[in-house]
A and B are shown apart, each in its own frame.
Chain A
Amino acid sequence: MKVSMDIELKDVPGQLVSALIPISELGGNIISVLHHRDRKTQRGTIPVQVVFDVEESKLAALLQRLRERGITVVRVGAERLKEAVFVLLIGHIVRSGVKELINEVDGTGVAEVVELFLSMPAVEEKSAAALKIRAIGKMELERALDIVEGFAARCGILVVRPIEDEL
């Protein structure tokens, strides 16, 4: 799970390291650290934004350890669905029951259809849909895409996927 956390540190040496140690102790992987020295608070503390990956079950323990170290956690924003993909569908999408497709993807519990744009030129003509799917990881995203491919194959719909960039 990707977590974005705003913390405040006292302006004394060693504070940043002290705040990052618990994350690594709990197996977290730090993605970025923004140290806003220019935005000192009225209390004289320095806001720091840390983004990291950690198992969902470890988050409570992490907050506890930070508290024990006297670090103020201002905000915790967990982004559960961190992987996203954009696909196009072309065919008789509404007639084929796109709602069931969305339910099936959402029903996995690990992926969700978060955006759907439909373009329907005329009643008997094929429509086009842009689908944005988010999932908790790459494997789960692949599973959601398999569901989309299965639906498309059953209904004679063409799926246009992105050219994979990790060449």
Chain B
Amino acid sequence: MREVKLSIVGFGVVGRGVAEVVARKRAEIGERFGLDLRIVAVVDLWGAALASDADGGGLDPRRILDALQKGGAEGLSPRESLEAHGVRVEELQSPDVIQEVEHDVTVEATPTNVDNDGEPGTSHILTALKAGRHVVTSNKGPLALHFNKLMQAAKRADRKIGFEATVGGAMPIISLRDTLAGNEILCIKGILNGTCNYILTRMGEENMPFEHALREAQEMGIAEADPRSDVLGVDTAVKLVILANALLGLDAAYKDVRVTGITEITPEALSLARDNGYVIKLIGEVDRDGKLEVAPKLVPETHPLNVGGTLNAALLKTDLAGEVMVVGRGAGGIEAASAIISDIIRIFKN
């Protein structure tokens, strides 16, 4: 059995999803892959929870999650919640934890920030690589803004970066690089934002205006309080840049993408589309000639990319395998954690 020590940097929806998956599947992963996953540190803005000798070499993820849930229900801050339930919190910041706490994989799960140079994610990843950690991340910002820089840093450090969780959530797409090894990927068209897909699906089904569908999505927790990044197409564009660089080998940047969001779509437009056998989807598209576009497109009802609800989907054209299609859940803590856990297992299986 090989021990794999993890630190989780950023303990929001995704970080907690990873802890949950480790709690649920640690024994199974040990049995099937010979890997003993241990969380040795959890760090967020409130401080750091570190495993002590008394913890037997790893934090108990169930205890941390329960503490946060119970404390949250009592109106306590995360730090108060943990301390109230016997988890010691240290005054340590993320770079210190990444550098000083001995571990194998840094799980970087802080929120995406494209406006601020991808920080703090970018620094977290570079620090981790320099300290000899592998990195697995769900954070789109650093990958979209500094793809080549990060890949080179990983190569220099002889470490791996897993970023399956940055695009399509649980839907496997980055790993198709390896699954389709030997193929050249010529073009990708995809639905990469579950919020937009939900809004367009509901507008079409219920003939409701954009604002109503958005509000419904917010009430269901599908759209964020500030939905601009989703509905203006920014989130799709960021993911498209990652696909362009990772799967098509382009040197693409966010500014190269022509972006149109879905805010102008009306129920009347969806109705006219339907009368003519189409639905409207926000499609991200990249090809080898460097075309990078995010825009609402007419998709024939019978087309495989016509997937509803919050689903993500991508259609890849390759030179040998022809067309390959993937569909899956694009959002959610457990879904992102699924991609993160797969990345971690892949690093140690190879």
Contacts and interface: CB of A to CB of B under 8 A. Distances in A.
Interface string A71-115: 000000000000000111011000000000000000000000000
B187 A167 contact: yes
B265 interface: yes
Given A163-B303, A167-B315, A127 B268 contact: yes
A130 B264 contact: no
Interface stretch (B32-40, B67-75, B245-253, B291-299): B291-299
Contacts of B298: 86-88, 160-163
| Most chain B CB within a 10 A radius of its CB, from A87, A88, A130, A165 | A88
B261 to A, nearest CB: 10
A26 B272 CA distance: 43
Contacts of B187: 167
Interface residues on B, range: 20 to 34
A91 B264 CA distance: 8
Interface in B264-282: 264-269, 271-273, 275-276, 278, 280-281
A134 to B, nearest CB: 14
Contacts of B265: 90, 158, 160
A135 interface: no
Contacts of B264: 90-91, 126, 158
B250 to A, nearest CB: 18
Interface in A137-167: 158, 160-163, 165, 167
B278 A167 contact: no
Contact of A130 (B275, B297, B305, B317): B275
A130 B272 contact: yes
A54 B270 CA distance: 38
A128 B276 contact: no
A7 interface: no
Nearest to A91: B264
Interface string B279-310: 01101010000000001111110010100000
Contact of B266 (A86, A121, A163): A121
A120 B266 CA distance: 11
B241 to A, nearest CB: 20
Given A162-B297, A167-B315, A167-B323, A121 B305 contact: no
B272 A129 contact: yes
A119 interface: yes
Interface in A38-72: none
B297 A163 contact: yes
Contacts of A129: 272
A163 B299 contact: yes
Contacts of B317: 167
28 contacts: A86-B276, A86-B298, A87-B298, A88-B298, A90-B264, A90-B266, A120-B268, A121-B266, A121-B267, A125-B266, A127-B268, A129-B272, A158-B264, A158-B265, A158-B296, A160-B269, A160-B273, A160-B280, A160-B295, A160-B297, A160-B298, A162-B278, A163-B189, A163-B281, A163-B285, A163-B303, A167-B315, A167-B323
Given A158-B265, A160-B269, A160-B298, 11 more contacts: A86-B278, A88-B298, A91-B264, A130-B276, A158-B296, A160-B296, A160-B297, A163-B285, A165-B300, A167-B189, A167-B317
Interface of A: 86-88, 90-91, 117, 119-121, 125-130, 158, 160-163, 165, 167
